[in-house]
Structure 1
């Protein structure tokens, strides 16, 4: 009679147990491998979504610097988040206020005529430089400096939100950006920008700030040219960056007007962050010689990130002056990427 030991009695069960363990181990390895591949694919997709083509970005920035030999341009800054407007697009903006025909072309003409004129300027720039896309913008003075203190003693006037809504409706059919421009008077950048956060959270709404009307020493706006420090500008950058992060938006564009040395102080301390693209906009009217000189002194020599140029239909064509053409401005170093018409 054959003897059965405990081991021999258990061996079939052990065989089955270890076989099942081996199969489970194999299945587990397959699952891990599958999950690993899936994770890598997800990571690749995520990387594609969350990163820009840095080589292409660098090429475009070098092209904008227009053969600068001083080392100032292009400016070394962090790469922007995906969806950045600059340097892939040139923005052509009409500036003004709907309450006034004297503050700029945006409020000077009836809507249909104004938009037709804007699209005409966009077409001129597109013809002059086909290397970048050209897009229209409505640059609206949302907070206007005033000669009287007003009830809040701010020496500014906040436009009703219904006007901003109107501009947004005008922008839609032509796929235009909307810029909300701030003239703080005796208020602050932080206070004025904060009350526009809901609008700035919209993907196509961006910001402009004007140091000309920032009266830190208590002067009446318009009686003296005002000033912003890097701290003032950084307040705007912080607010915009927070909006971009929280709402998961593409970078915001911040336009800063400038035509004197004192309008912007401590420019080297202006923050450069992936969420905000900074345009130093050469403001002021005059002859071509004067405007080129201003651009060289305050925009070219004090580089921040991108540059803009403001053109005045009336004041740049006064007397025997002639307003710059797109072809002429494209010869500047660096080439302006934001053009504003008033």
Structure 2
């Protein structure tokens, strides 16, 4: 039997995260389904996703985490995974407002694009604001990271980051 976790990637556009996540409650009631939130796609009214980076707040992320914690508790589910992606410091404001919730494992995924030097610099900048209870995650892009002839970071290079990533995504 294969084991894995399905993360539903939420790119809300002009909507708020919580109602978008709640729309998937049927599937979030499964023990192996969590969410990945993409704040850079959460834009203000009138903005076009993809043309301008969106953003969110620690309080909005906390609302989703609290909702997932409630589901996990009510339905006696294993911890829900809630990953949130961040490509730049401006993407998540007031990150300290994201509190720990029993029943939810939160992962901050650094989405920096480019060569190893640029990705490591983004990592250092964004990890500085990571709440202590949040796990570290790292994302590599097969095309975008190698577009200018550079090599994709190796697994050894990724695992040498501090803090050590608990979650790694390849796209």
| Structure 2 length-normalised TM | 0.95
Matches within 5 A, 1:172-191: 173-191=1-19
1:228 matched to 2:90? The reply is no
Q: Which runs of 5+ in 1 are unaligned?
A: 1-172
Separation in structure 1 between the aligned mates of residue 16 and residue 51 of structure 2, nearest angstrom: 18
2:43 to 215, 220, 243: 215
Structure-1 residue corresponding to 2:147: 318
Deviating 4+ runs (over 6 angstroms) = none
Separation in structure 1 between the aligned mates of residue 110 and residue 22 of structure 2, nearest angstrom: 25
2:69 to 231, 241, 255: 241
Q: Work out which of the two has the higher radius of gyration on C-alpha atoms and give 1 or 2.
A: 1
Q: CA deviation at 1:218?
A: 2.8
Q: SS of the counterpart of 1:262?
A: helix
Separation in structure 1 between the aligned mates of residue 72 and residue 4 of structure 2, nearest angstrom: 19
RMSD over equivalenced CA pairs, Å: 1.1
Matches within 5 A, 1:109-188: 173-188=1-16
Q: CA deviation at 1:197?
A: 0.7
Q: SS of the counterpart of 2:108?
A: strand
Q: CA deviation at 1:307?
A: 0.7
| Structure 1 length-normalised TM | 0.48
Count how many residue pairs are aligned between Structure 1 and Structure 2.
Answer: 169
Q: CA deviation at 1:217?
A: 4.3
1:303 matched to 2:130? The reply is yes
1:267 to 72, 95, 118: 95
1:338 matched to 2:167? The reply is yes
